[in-house]
Chains A and B, each alone.
Chain A
Amino acid sequence: MKQMDGFRIVSVLIRNHFKRLKGKWLSLPLVLLAPIILLSVIGYLVIAIVEQPTQQPIHVGIVNLDQTDQTNLLVHVMEEVSKSIDYIDLTSYQESDAEAAIAAEQLDAYLYFPRQFFSSLLRGESVELEVVGHPNKRLEGQLVQGFVDNIGDYIESAQANILTVDYYASTLLAEEERQLLLFEQFQSFFFHALAKDQALQEHEVQISLYHSPLVYFTIAIWFVLITIWLFSLYIILHKNEDRRMKKRMILYGLTDLHEAIALLITLLLIMIVLAISSFALIHYWLPLSLATDQLWFIALLVGLYIFIFSELFILIDYLPLSQRLKLIIQMLAMVGMLLLSGATIPQAYFPVSIQDEVGYLFANHVFTWLEQIILHGRFHAEFALLYGCSLIGIFLMVTGSVIRGRVK
């Protein structure tokens, strides 16, 4: 049988990959869309947390069952405080009214001050503030709880101080006089606690070209998205080979290396199209300001990233293990790379012991330089490590395919 040259074999394989993808016109967009939806939900949530919500305020009722001067003051103070906070609006209610208001959707949540609230505090007993949320507005309920937690902290710190004063005052003052003093002190300590943020003089330092963290998160999400796409495509393309077709191709001189090269080229071609189009969308939407040189650097970085990651997947498939284990290893490799790349957890928060070493991981290297170029406007990137990784990958693939060829 006449041997086909390697070039033709590879081109036949590539054409075959594309033909198969065409047959998947329905599932392919689904596979590509699913991670976008997932990531945009997560991204939206993260951004929503970092940039405090500025939409409609949450309406919260306060039900005061204690009805002492002190709690009435507290409620009054909380109402006042909430006026200076955009996202929460507090109003006091009777218990039955609050229940009705929740049902009528006038309130998103309400909180109870239980009976004996203040006297329990003074006695140093534990007290629970209860927040009741609207069944359809769980998210708001949790924001309210965060707010109440804060107020709780203020009350708590005031409480320790009052107990101190009370401890000494009890030896000097009569009961009535003492109560009056404590009430004054409580008021004073509570306002003191409310003003605690003033203790800091805050300076914001801008370190990137963009004022908001939005750009960083978008780039990070884009990076994760590309990685997930790559893996999904790899899974779709890699298996499903037509056995009979493969047997025939072996007669023409097909080896594992041909298959690997064809897979690499196919993945690279598709991923470049996907990466460029998604980046163009981001570029337009944010918008970014990048020079042509910088765009070339980004393209090269991402191209090499895709190339090395594909090599890694292929090499894992060369391991003599069961399909399930190989899949798990590939998945772990992907998750590990993403975790250590700096795109999921910013590198600053990494353990000190690995801060220096992670720089040698190709994923981390690529993401760091993407950040440098896009966020910090650098006109430079280092590629030596990435070229090295690609070459080692190629070397291992050739060796692996030769060994596998012998074993067969």
Chain B
Amino acid sequence: MLEIREVTKKYGRKHVLDRINYQISRGEVIGLIGENGAGKSTLLQILATLMSPTSGQVLLHQQPYRKHVKQIRKKIGYVPQDIALWEDLSVKDNMVFFEKLSWVNKTEQQLKRICTDMQLNQWEEKVKNLSGGMKRKLNLAISLIHEPELLLLDEPTVGIDLKSRVEINGYLKGLAKQKGTIIVYTSHDMNEIKELCDRTLIIGDDPFYHDILDR
């Protein structure tokens, strides 16, 4: 279970996040929405341990972030908004590279399996020759090598074709169901959020987002 308790983030005097409280159980998929600059990315980065809150705390399975950063990070899969891949390496080499650096040992077969599960089949192709959709899939696949219990995705499907998006979303749903992974997700696409997420957390107080969600 992921608990967010009274999390506040200030930049100087400006409150970006103001006393956020939220709880997410195993296997839940949560969508984060809000206008640009409302603090979605900030919250996601706090959850990803890349930033610490000004006050308040976050707990994963009752373990507070502040004290156990190292153990927590082993359980987190973070999918950055930018494509974080070695462009010159092949899909295979990217997977193998991050497997070598990760906490787990996997065979090449297991790594390939992660990709094929997402319909990413160009195993030997260099990343720079892949389409945008395939790059996104690989971007996600790498974050799954160490089988994280908490998966954080920062606009993972931005700018890709419909087919790839459906494939990615289908995969994520399966992941939450079968392995009980907690998934937190930011997106600007309302349809996607409605289709994929069990619950939605609105960041910021713009009434527009509350209305559109109710509709």
Do A and B interact directly, with beta carbons closer than 8 Å?
no
Binding site for A on B (CB under 8 A): none
